[in-house]
Structure 1
């Protein structure tokens, strides 16, 4: 193996760790770093949410951590400067891979946010979360549906099956105006899942698409758009026709009880009160540096050589093309799955077959574009699902949530007053302007097509919401490259969840004693490619590392999604029925 650059000796002496082996209580300042003991150096491969979470937990427990990141710290969660957009001493316009959505049913990520100090905030970066108050399903050529998040309120006590049916039915009758029999059927399917035992969820519903579970093919177009497609796009950002029912319904269940105020971290829909790096990533990196974490940005991991039953190093290429090997006692692979599996060589895969199964995991394109506007254009105080848009658009007006910022005074050239951030989820369907897919369009054509689809959804009810004259500029994630050519590329893709995906998701602990996996593709309770999933996977990876190293440090808390205790008895009954080969008690077929 070719070895250049840093040795293990330089890795150890160049890294520092926080004193002590115990995790620090929230809000407590770190002790001064000191040199690590033998066996306590860790190379974290990837600086996204998973990698930074792993570094955070390990540094608090006295490990010497170096994070290797190819692009920018924060990964897909980061915000980024729009090149050449700053004038007059202002900051560059903020761009991003996609807008942040941090629902109240997340339970692990919020804990990390509380432990990141932020000036003036008692609860650290967590206090930078602000709640939206509504969501809109924008219909093209039809009346839009606006839903306040206070619609359901908090029920007076435990829910019975009848209470659940009435709650779901009441919401849909009020908001969706669907045929009564379709509303009743959807409410029944919700009850079936909520009362299904874990065995049925895994063996049956993991292998059944959400589309099939809802019998969407037999229902009206509105049922399909609102309940099959709309729910998956808003809550889990995946495709109803192929997505596992277990994945979709697990998160729908948590979101539903979050709306009822059940054991939630906060409001159902929350965003940050500033661009992501300002509100979260930059303070996080600064805090990790204070704990002794070292960062090497521009280091691309090429290979994880394996010999004598262990990973022997991480071969990296620096931004200047230099190849070198970084060595440590332990390695946490926190890269996105499409990149991670390129560095798992044949010998490593032979040592742990679950690495090979990860090749079956699928990714797809979901990428953001931001439109900078010269007039405030909040539309609503929350997210918008452009339900009929061919490219499956979702959007949010951001400036309204950045209360501590004066957009024209702080960013750009002084003319921009708002940022409409849009996620494009469908890249392989023809648009309305050019009749081509997003992958077939140039970057400029993508921007014009998305703008046209936004206007078609928002300017169709007698008022002009988006004005061409207010469009200042736009920014498309630079990870998208080569579109409009025969070889379109996206370097930052999203893990998707077709039926059966769970069985190919690896665990954080591998059969290789010094290799651990952290990322939103790792098997965790939320079972969804999210920042919460990445955070939970990193916690599991750290716990596995602590076990392997014999550390006495406290293990990370990994909190599962909320599940209503009043349905436990029905789930036990369903487990009995499942063992007899019978359907769920409430399943009408």
Structure 2
């Protein structure tokens, strides 16, 4: 397969145009909503409320099983996973500069989302949009005032990154600096804590480690600065946008366990780190919408869900607001709420909450800010070929330079005004800590100040050991996620917050099935095997919601496959032994205290 030829680029552009047209047609035809779908000879009509990964997954699975589906989305299909255009940035027949809520990261620990991606057709791809995934060969822990630690990500077929003699010198310096920065006894203690978790039974994980902060579990308070920055904060705030001091050990260590086995090639769908080879909508979302439209799914974009009307033990309607601001009652046989939790729970009235107490418990779930900003460069910065994690940055920045991962894209020829050659996409995970430039938190800064502060923190992490990686003269422009508003005022808002995992969160997660027989939940807050706010969790929860709907209706249609996280069989005997110790009130056999 020629992944860089002109024919492939042409087929991409042709397909993208067709996908946009198909999506637009589906949206226009959806006025009248589920009522039209209900008249068709199908098992029943379903209103899917929310058009992010969870909603599109539910629509996909339901449509394949013959249901009439309409997806109601208030803003744009794809939700937080979508890419978007920078307004007014296109010149000379090029497409607008690509932007996003945050860069996409689809690791090999995911199984359900990749399965869906394989079932989305894409021209020239034998395995659908899944073939649009590429694997960066390395990552970096970017240290402020110290050499950055470059970490290879080996995988069969990976071509090792080519290094200059100076880069080899810097890599060796960083490895030794990191090794010496964390004392041997601290390293040994951390490894022991990992072994404790790996051999802990499910009951101990759910009852003890779920209520133990990661910071306490690894005794970070007593350890060195490097131990705290890399092993405590680096694994929490920078990756899952939660604070090590309060994050559930169950959540953090489950993620660590999955990544360890992924790196060892155990139970993995693919390499540890995978990203898309083009802007998200081009590589994934637009083809998905086009495929769903071909299956008969209807889309009502610009419709906002206001309330789930409840009576006689069932949902009687979804009260929505159309693009003109008129309230309407949408009726269907079944309803799948696929809204983010902070939006979904606003639509559940007292009667509905009383009908199922797990809905009220969702008020105890917490969200925080993790938002992207893109910097457009007129010169490609000499960064690594993969993600970098600025572990010492006050705002917990992570980033990736994108053009090098988009082999079918000639960035200046395809996007913007012809001057931009690359996009440095950055995620800001900490919004409540003062920065280095203004001494203000990100929420206290204006949008322009946020951009300047992030740029300054990036330079502090990358331009700090005798070479200039980021040049002010190469900065063309920037774009901050429009979901953030009111920055620099007393009441900033963020429409796209991220579920975080303080201790006890696991016990407040609802199931996909509710006590209301025609109402189902899908989203990354729903209880599924992957205990993390991820696209994989959103996808798995939607599959669980569809299965619950099929069970409730007595359908003979095949159930969705929901693949759990990998469990190493060689550890099962140790976990059974730990189950006995836990029931007797004893600590894990490896727990040295």
TM-score (norm 1): 0.91
| Partner SS state of residue 304, structure 1 | strand
Deviation for aligned residue 1:322: 1.4
Pair 490,10 (structure 1): closer, same or farther in 2 beyond 3 Å: closer
Deviation for aligned residue 1:238: 2.4
What's 1:529 paired with?
Answer: 533
Pair 490,9 (structure 1): closer, same or farther in 2 beyond 3 Å: closer
Pair 135,488 (structure 1): closer, same or farther in 2 beyond 3 Å: same
Deviation for aligned residue 1:236: 3.0
Pair 582,419 (structure 1): closer, same or farther in 2 beyond 3 Å: same
CA distance in 1, matches of 2:31, 2:516: 23
What's 2:397 paired with?
Answer: 393
Pair 514,259 (structure 1): closer, same or farther in 2 beyond 3 Å: same
CA distance in 2, matches of 1:303, 1:94: 34
- Correspondence list, 1:81-480, <5 A: 81-150=85-154, 176-177=179-180, 178-377=182-381, 379-480=383-484
Question: Does residue 70 of structure 2 align to residue 66 of structure 1?
Answer: yes
Give structure 1 stretches of 5+ with no counterpart: 1-5, 17-33, 154-170
| Partner SS state of residue 231, structure 1 | coil
CA distance in 1, matches of 2:382, 2:105: 16
CA distance in 2, matches of 1:234, 1:255: 15
| Partner SS state of residue 454, structure 2 | helix
| Partner SS state of residue 398, structure 2 | strand
CA distance in 2, matches of 1:272, 1:12: 33
Deviation for aligned residue 1:378: 5.2
Deviations 1:7-59 (A, max 9, x none): x995456338xxxxxxxxxxxxxxxxx9333x610000000000000000000
Give structure 2 stretches of 5+ with no counterpart: 1-27, 158-173
How many pairs are equivalent?
Answer: 549
| Partner SS state of residue 312, structure 1 | strand
Deviations 1:151-202 (A, max 9, x none): 999xxxxxxxxxxxxxxxxx99896432110110011011000000000000
- RMSD of aligned residue pairs (Cα, Å): 2.0
Instruction: Decide which of 45, 49, 56 is 2:53's aligned counterpart.
Output: 49
Pair 35,365 (structure 1): closer, same or farther in 2 beyond 3 Å: same
Question: Does residue 57 of structure 2 align to residue 35 of structure 1?
Answer: no
Pair 11,475 (structure 1): closer, same or farther in 2 beyond 3 Å: closer
Contact 1:152-1:259 within 8 A present in 2 as well = no
CA distance in 2, matches of 1:339, 1:459: 41
Moved over 6 A (4+): 171-174
Question: Does residue 36 of structure 2 align to residue 14 of structure 1?
Answer: yes
Deviations 1:319-357 (A, max 9, x none): 211111110000000000000000001110010011000
CA distance in 2, matches of 1:421, 1:194: 34
What's 2:17 paired with?
Answer: none
What's 1:563 paired with?
Answer: 567
CA distance in 1, matches of 2:107, 2:382: 20
CA distance in 2, matches of 1:334, 1:400: 34
Deviation for aligned residue 1:392: 0.6
CA distance in 2, matches of 1:47, 1:236: 23
CA distance in 2, matches of 1:574, 1:225: 31
| Partner SS state of residue 347, structure 2 | coil
